[in-house]
Amino acid sequence: MGYGGKFEDRQRARELRAESWTLPGQQPHPLHVKKLAEMERCKVEAEKCIGELSDRDFLMSGLGLHAGEGSKTDRTVSMANTNPVLVRIFVTWLRRQFMIDESRLRVKLYLHEGLDLAAATRFWSESTEISVSQFREPYRAVADPTRRHSKHVFGCATVLYSCSTTHRRVMAMIEAVSSPFAIRDSSVGRAGHC
């Protein structure tokens, strides 16, 4: 059958499941209702557990985001993502924690051919509050019909900040946070939970 066939089967299965929740005149499936209730409960619990973020909380969350999603290339602090919330958190973290030179920020878009480049550029410029004049030449990907058919309408944005000192500071902080976990510790995992 090949990858393309499996993809089409999975896509059709998703469509059929979605239709079962939305047919006119039918009640939502009980499992769907249960799922929505659990998601709402988890959201309320999370908001109560997290509360308001301190400056240190925000610093640590930004370090975690960069450690997981950011580029580790020397001289540049950067992150690529399709989620505008995560990209906005990353840019806000850079601005708050490192007093950056705004003129050194750059954005590069990865966008499939056939999607609206001007709209994507506006979207990411507004999301990041980075001027369009600071955007690099985008990468236009050619669609492969054997691969996934869903595409992110506004593509993937990479935010780059070129500064050796900032990069070294970020990497040193990530190392400082992760060094206690470099040696297996029997006390890890015993902390309280929300």
Query: What pLDDT is stored for residue 83 in this prediction?
Result: 96
Domain annotation for the chain: domains and CATH numbers: 2-50 (no CATH), 55-178 (3.30.1330)
| Pairwise CA distance, residues 117 & 52, whole Å | 37
Query: What pLDDT is stored for residue 29 in this prediction?
Result: 85
Query: What pLDDT is stored for residue 2 in this prediction?
Result: 44
pTM metric for this prediction:
0.75
Which residues neighbour 119 within 8 Å (Cβ) at sequence distance 6 or greater? 153, 154
Query: What pLDDT is stored for residue 25 in this prediction?
Result: 72
Query: What pLDDT is stored for residue 172 in this prediction?
Result: 96
Task: Give the residue from 163, 175, 165, 152 showing the smallest Cα distance to 87.
Answer: 152
Q: What does the pLDDT look like over 19-56, one tens digit per residue? A: 555 566 778 888 988 998 999 999 999 999 999 999 99
Beta bridge partners of 156: 110
Which segments in the chain show pLDDT lower than 70? Answer: 1-7, 10-11, 13-24, 145-150, 183-193
**Helix H segments across 51-182?**
55-69, 84-98, 117-128, 164-178
Beta bridge partners of 141: 112
Which residue shows structure tokens 């209702």? 33
Query: What pLDDT is stored for residue 116 in this prediction?
Result: 93
Query: What pLDDT is stored for residue 192 in this prediction?
Result: 62
Average pLDDT, the chain: 86
| DSSP for residue 154 | T
Count of H helices and E strands in the chain? 6, 5
